[in-house]
Amino acid sequence: MPGAPPVSRQPDSSTPPRRHRGLHLHRDRPKPGPAPLMTQHILIIGAGIIGTALADRLAPHTRVTIIDSHQPGQGTTATSLAWLNANKTLDPDYFAFRQDALAEWARLAAELGHPSWYVPAGNMTWAQTDTTRTELAQRVERLRARGYAARLITPSEARAIEPALTIPAGALIAHFPEEGFIHGTQAIQALMDRAHNAGAQLITQDPVANLLRHGDRVTGVRLESGADIAADVTVCAAGWRTPEILATADLTIPLLDVHAPGSAAPCLVAATTPASGVLRGLIHAPGVYARPAWDGGLLLEASDLDAKIDMNTPMPTLQSQAEEFLDRARSIIPALTQAHIAQARRCIRPMPLDGLPLIGWHLPRLYVAATHSGITSPHTLPNSPPVGSRPVATSTSSLPTGPTGPYIAPSQVRRWKLHETLST
Identify the DSSP state of 325.
Answer: H
Question: Are the CB atoms for 41 and 230 separated by under 8 Å?
Answer: yes
Q: Does an H or E element contain 66, and which?
A: strand 63-68
Domain identity same for 176 and 142: yes
Helix axes 49-58, 184-197, angle to 10 degrees: 30
Residues 54 and 198 in one domain: yes
Give residue-wise pLDDT tens across range 349-368: 998 888 888 888 888 899 99
Q: Contact, 321 vs 327, CB < 8 A?
A: no
Q: CA nearest 112: which of 24, 27, 201, 22?
A: 27
Mean pLDDT of 382-405: 36
Q: Residue 321 belongs to a domain with what CATH number? A: 3.30.9.10
Please tell me the least confidently modeled range out of 32-41, 79-88, 337-346: 32-41
Instruction: Work out the mean pLDDT of the chain and round it to a whole number.
Output: 83
Query: How far, in Å, CA of 388 to CA of 399, rounded?
Result: 20
pLDDT tens for each residue of 48-102? 999 999 999 999 999 999 999 888 878 887 878 999 999 998 888 889 888 988 9
* CA-wise closest residue to 409 among 349, 354, 350: 354
Do 228 and 166 reside in the same domain of the chain? no
* Cis geometry, peptide bond prior to residue 384 (ω within 30 degrees of 0): no
pLDDT band at 300 (very low <50, low <70, confident <90, very high): very high
**At 283, is the pLDDT very low, low, confident or very high (cuts 50, 70, 90)?**
very high
Section 10-25 average pLDDT: 33
Round to whole Å and give the CA distance between 323 and 330. 11
Is 106 part of a structural domain of the chain?
no
Half-sphere exposure of 72 (CA within 13 A, CB side): 34
Q: What are phi and psi of 329, to 5 degrees?
A: -65, -40
d(CA 208, CA 129): 50
Range of the domain at 314: 111-182+260-348
Q: Tell which residue, 217, 193, 214, 206, has the closest CA to residue 112.
A: 193
Q: How confident is the model at residue 173 (pLDDT cuts 50, 70, 90)?
A: very high
Give the per-residue pLDDT at 385: 56
CA gap 295, 168 in Å, rounded? 28
Same domain for 268 and 178, yes or no, is yes
Q: What's the alpha-carbon Rg for the chain, to the nearest Å? A: 22
In 293-405, the DSSP E strands lie at 298-301, 341-348, 358-363, 366-370, 386-387, 390-391, 393-394
What tens digit of pLDDT does each residue of 394-408 get?
322 222 233 333 344
Cα 65–chain centre separation: 20
Do both 269 and 219 map to the same domain? Answer: no
Using a cut of 0.85, tell me whether the model's pTM lies above it.
no
Q: How many domains does the chain have?
A: 2
Residue 90 maps to a domain = no
**Cα–Cα distance, 53 to 136 (Å, whole number):** 33
**Best CA proximity match to 29, nearest among 183, 197, 180:** 197
DSSP state of 74: -
Q: How far apart are CA 397 and CA 189, in angstroms?
A: 27
The rounded distance, in Å, linking the Cα atoms of 103 and 419 is 33
Q: How far apart are CA 303 and CA 52, in angstroms?
A: 28
Looking up residue 382, the CATH number of its domain turns out to be 3.50.50.60
Handedness of CA 360, 66, 231, 194 (dihedral sign): negative
- Least Cα distance to 82 among 191, 186, 184 occurs for 184
Q: How confident is the model at residue 415 (pLDDT cuts 50, 70, 90)?
A: low
The reply to whether 7 falls in a domain is: no
Residue 13 resides in a domain: no
pLDDT tens digits along 98-142: 898 899 999 999 999 999 999 999 999 999 999 999 999 999 999
Q: Are strands 172-176 and 123-127 parallel, antiparallel or unpaired?
A: antiparallel
* Same-domain check for residues 293 and 361: no
Q: What is the per-residue DSSP string for 225-237?
A: TS-EEE-SEEEE-
